[in-house]
Amino acid sequence: MNTNWNQLHEKVSHHLQAIYADVVTDIAVGDLATRLMEIMRLNSDDDIATPLPHCNHWDEEDIIMITYGDSVIQEQERPLFTLSRFLHTYCKNTINNVHILPFFPYSSDDGFSVIDYSSVNESLGGWEDVERIAADYGLMVDLVINHCSARSVWFDNFIKGDGPGSDFFFTADPSADLTGVTRPRTSPLLRETETANGTQHVWCTFSHDQVDFDFRNPKVLMTFMEIIRQYIDEGAKIFRLDAVAFLWKIIGTSCINLPQTHEVIRLIRTLVEHVNPGIMLITETNIPNRENLTYFGNANEAHAIYNFSLPPLLVNTMVTGNCLYLKNWMMSMPPAQNGTTYFNFIASHDGIGLRPAEGLLSDEELGTLVNTMQHFGGKISWRASENGQQKPYEINITLFDALQGTTKGPDKYQVDRFICAHAIMLGLEGIPGIYIHSLLGTSNDYEKVANTGQNRSINRKRWDYRELEALLDSPYSQHHKVLTRISQLIRIRKAQSAFHPNATQFTLQLGNHLFGYWRQSLDRKQSIFCISNITDEEQSILLSDINLIGTDNWLDLISRDQINSSAGFIQLKPYQTVWISNQDME
């Protein structure tokens, strides 16, 4: 018997014991561990490698573009094929990883109410189209692990009381005290459903079309390991664990961030990294910052966590011209251990989440931010708080329109402000994720909101490829300007060793109108001072404040201007960013 197989089997069994310790069941942990390893094709007669701990399988060249499979469409062409063409035409030297948002058959929530996990939505294409993209880019896929569609075969079988899925769903007694359950939505938690076994009240964290799984049943776990194995076979390298914080439920608790949820993620990591050490897990946990950080575990849980506090704090910084709150948060963030990293983003298919800003922005600051975004055409989605009051959950707006002005109103600096925000994000510790509609400078899509009745549709435009092509080829369009300038920043970033996701980072103290941080490469040879004017007025950087070493030659990597360290200061235009480096790595 293979020694490594035995060691892995013991580790998997340990995870399972921790997960199911409090569940009244006749689970044979050893047999379940064997079955999970068989599903992942980790066989006893194979030479199973032991993954190196605290190993970074990423570097400064990694950039992830976030997109729907049909964000770019052309008549009589499969959208995934069109997406591949767009990538090769406009992203060839910038993007090396692509997150295709759920591309499976679905019934609601633009893909996040999955009907069938094993097939590609026919309206998008087929697995061959996914594999084509995966052949040239690192493929990031969604594992919608908390819930599925109420129109799935599994839920049909639950209603019938027979067949696969008939015991997959979490139910609760409506008379139980559920007041402590954390809710991301205002809809009723329980869905009354008539089944062959009588009236059942099915748990629905998000909507009544999204029915929650019951992971107390090991069959659910085994089924999801089969799904993961299939996606790996189809070319997936990065897994986004959607809404995973809500996975385990215990009546009488908040039903979020429970220990069993963390242990399930550790189990998944253990198994996938033995299949391929380069596979990444990213947890999508739109929760307050302190709780979000726990999903790193001890470099044995998520490889990366969404830096959910960054979008609201950075947008707030750009519209107020004050970086105090962003700076305070940055100083509080622990460096990610090797083997883990942050996933930085400032726009996504969802809105600008406000829960991750709780405790970081005051209620007054949040109120001003919400009012400003509404003035810029944004919508607000709400949640029910612990005391039953409605609170803003997220702002629905494109990032381009969110940065069209300041709290004083719209102004002429929209593009410059937008690029400045991306320059800040691209230099930070972690892997950058850029939403396709940020790459393209897309404005609010009010027509789609009217058609769907969903606030989030405002930031989910479908571009006609030929229309988009004409705009991107026109030097006068906002779309050309944005793509050109962001692409330039990405190309510069990818050449700098100091921008490695795990390179050293320190926050600079330059007052509230200049936001800055210092990055140093892992070999300590390259330093970069990243400084942005986050106001609509010129600002001066006192070079004495950043202590440039006089024996080094300093260069702004963006403008290509030489920096004379003996000069007293340099002047920054409104929303200008400089990346001052002692090495030119291009």
The two tokens of residue 91 are 């992203």
Supply the DSSP symbol for 412.
T
Cα distance between residue 246 and residue 290, in whole Å: 16
Crossing angle, helix 363-375 and helix 310-320, to 10 degrees?
Answer: 70
Pair 473, 480: CB distance under 8 Å: yes
C-alpha closest to that of 374 among 345, 405, 416: 405
DSSP for 248-292, written as a single string: ---TTS--SS-HHHHHHHHHHHHHHHHH-TT-EEEEE--S-HHHH
Residue for token pair 């330059």: 510
Would residue 242 show up in a list of annotated catalytic residues for this protein?
A: yes
**Strand-strand pairing, 138-144 and 97-100:** parallel
The single residue listed with the structure tokens 């947890």 is 283
CA angle, 13 then 17 then 20, to 5°: 130
Distance CA 224, CA 154 (A): 13
- Please state the three-class secondary structure of 76-95 as a single string: CCCHHHHHHHHHHHHCCCCC
User: Which one of 242, 416, 445, 556 is the catalytic residue?
Assistant: 242
Among 163, 164, 155, CA closest to 195 = 155
Which residues, in sequence order, are CB contacts of 469 under 8 Å at separation 6+?
A: none
Residue 536 CA to residue 450 CA, distance in Å, equals 34
Phi, psi angles (nearest 5°) of residue 127? -60, -30
* Annotated binding-site members: 109, 147, 240-242, 349-350, 456
- For residues 417 and 436, what is the distance between their CA atoms, to the nearest angstrom? 18
3-state secondary structure of 98: strand
Conformation bin of residue 142: beta by default, left when phi > 0, alpha when psi is -120 to 50: beta
What distances in angstroms separate CA 457 from CA 110, 379, 450, one per listed residue? 9, 10, 9
Instruction: State the residue for tokens 């990405």.
Output: 490
Give the residue ranges of the annotated binding site for substrate. Answer: 109, 147, 240-242, 349-350, 456
Q: Tokens for 529?
A: 């001072």
What is the C-alpha separation between 241 and 95, in angstroms, rounded? 22
Phi, psi of 555 (to 5 degrees): -140, 135
Q: What's the rounded Cα separation, in Å, for the pair 58 and 64? A: 12
3-class secondary structure, 403: coil
Please enumerate in sequence order all residues whose Cβ is within 8 A of that of 13, keeping only pairs 6 or more positions apart, or say none: 29, 30, 33
98 DSSP β-pair partners:
65, 139
| d(C-alpha 174, C-alpha 176), whole Å | 5
In this structure, the chain runs to a length of: 586
Active site residues: 242
